[in-house]
Structure 1
Amino acid sequence: MTRIGIITGSTRDVRVNLQVAEWVKDFADNKDINAEFEIVDIKESGLGRFNEAIPPLMTNKEYATEEQSIWSRKIDSFDGFIFVTPEYNKNFPSALKDHLDYLGEEWHHKAAGIVSYGSTLGIAASLALRTTLSNLKVATVEPQGAFSLFNDFENMATFKPMEVHKPRFGEMIDDVVAWSTALKSVRKEKSFA
């Protein structure tokens, strides 16, 4: 079965990020699709700011802390991802960037979808995240979830997405699962190279 990690993008105490991730998981779990979805909350990872002497972790696993090793195994266990990111200053949060930077090959040859939100739907954050993910050899699907703080949140605090998003969001889930399943063969071929 194809495993998809739903990765939160914020660690702030006042975040709405986890609400969005939980909605994504519930939506995905209710689709008739051959995949397993799991929320991966970066706030619970135990990792701090990325401040390693030799990036990424794949080059110095023997020096990894317990938290880094756990993060490595967790990400390696997935076939694909859905990143849930807010937009801060036209970019995705530094906490998410740090969590991406801790690893290397664990991300390679997997697929991802992006769910963004903000005052302008988080579009700038999603574009920045796509660039970073491409450098990590992650193939991002075109359909994405993009939510407005003004229309999809009650008082900018409680996530209540409009129904209009569901068809496009369903396409994103389908594409993430299809691409993630297909890329398993690429990873298998690379492991024998």
Structure 2
Amino acid sequence: MSDLKIAVVVGSTRPGRKGRAVAEWVLARAGGRPGARYELVDLLDFPLPLLDEPMSAKATGADGYTHDHTRAWAAKVAEYDGFVFVTPEYNHSLSGTLKNALDFLYEEWNNKAAAVVSYGAAGGVRAAEHLRGILSELQVAHVQQQLGFSAFTDFVDYRTPEAALAPTDIQRAFADTMFAQLETWAGALRSVRAAAATAAGPQDTERGDKRAEDTRRATPWAVMATFDVKEGCEEEWSRLVQDVIDEMRHEKTFISTSMCRRPDEPGKFLLFEVWADRAEFFATQVNREYRRPLMERLPELTRSPVVFDEWTEIRADHAVHVRR
């Protein structure tokens, strides 16, 4: 089996950042480990804007990406079996740049392993804890051992551009433990991904895991989208959505839809779609040409990214009117 491929991700892009020096120390410390190859991935080399995909990666998968910068970032992340995330602590959390880069993708992170290296006034521990919660949602297994570097004791001249990392012997030992844990989990999860790919086969959308797909098809499946529309854009948004509804009513797997508006907040809308086939929806429906005008305008019409939720229908009722 080939060596594990692990990215050391520099999670800060601001001028004067210390993250690059920390990441380079991590990379040097990991050099020469048998069975694993560590590489530096600097977010400065992937200038992602604030999340600008009209739909979440969890809802659409890779087929739903609409921008070249998203596809380039996804291709890079997909190369790796595991990650060491190097993050500063800003206002009790991780950097906005790293959070944004994580949010762009979903399936490229799934069933992989990660370790956390943080730095800051308190060693970046609060950033590390926030990052762990995000990784859990992305189905990334984060290992127990982490490194936290103090701005006061683990750097020389921290406040200057020439600041240098000065780790202690115990931190070097912790780093070796972290690498061992990361490689163990990255190897185990590579086997999990390989087994899933074998079960799915080369034509995933046609065959896939038949038992799981049959379960999904046993009852109707629904997607709920929540929109926060900018003031003055409600009429255009409504027209574009209703154009989509008028077209999708003719789809063979379409069951029903509801378009709702919150009475006390005129800019808040909800679109609830019910479909007979979940796999067909993600493979075909999200990429229908008639959805494109809406998707292209959403970043300009909404205050924030659309929020999507999946639901499985248990029961649906309609009024029965009896004539007397």
Superposed pair shares fold, TM > 0.5: yes
> Which residue number corresponds to residue 131 of structure 1?
133
Instruction: Give 2:91's match in structure 1, choosing from 75, 89, 92.
Output: 89
Instruction: Give 2:111's match in structure 1, choosing from 109, 112, 119.
Output: 109
> Which residue number corresponds to residue 73 of structure 1?
75
Contact 1:151 1:162 in 2 (8 A): no
1:97-146, Cα deviation, whole Å (9 max, x unpaired): 10001101000000000001111111100000000000000000000111
Contact 2:27 2:38 in 1 (8 A): yes
Q: In 1, Cα distance between the equivalents of 2:192 and 2:62?
A: 24
Q: Let me know the Cα RMSD of the aligned residues.
A: 1.4
Shift of 1:62: 5.0
> Which residue number corresponds to residue 168 of structure 1?
174
* 2:183 corresponds to 1:182: no
TM-score by length of 2: 0.57
Corresponding residue SS for 1:64: coil
Contact 1:54 1:60 in 2 (8 A): no
Q: In 2, Cα distance between the equivalents of 1:41 and 1:64?
A: 23
> Which residue number corresponds to residue 44 of structure 2?
43
Q: Which runs of 5+ in 2 are unaligned?
A: 200-208, 210-324
> Which residue number corresponds to residue 147 of structure 2?
145
Q: In 2, Cα distance between the equivalents of 1:8 and 1:95?
A: 10
Percent of aligned pairs with the same residue?
37
> Which residue number corresponds to residue 239 of structure 2?
none
Q: In 2, Cα distance between the equivalents of 1:62 and 1:126?
A: 30
Shift of 1:185: 1.2
> Which residue number corresponds to residue 21 of structure 1?
23
Q: In 2, Cα distance between the equivalents of 1:62 and 1:110?
A: 21
Q: Paired residues, what number?
A: 192
- CA pair 60-168 structure 1, distance change in 2 beyond 3 A: closer
Shift of 1:46: 2.4
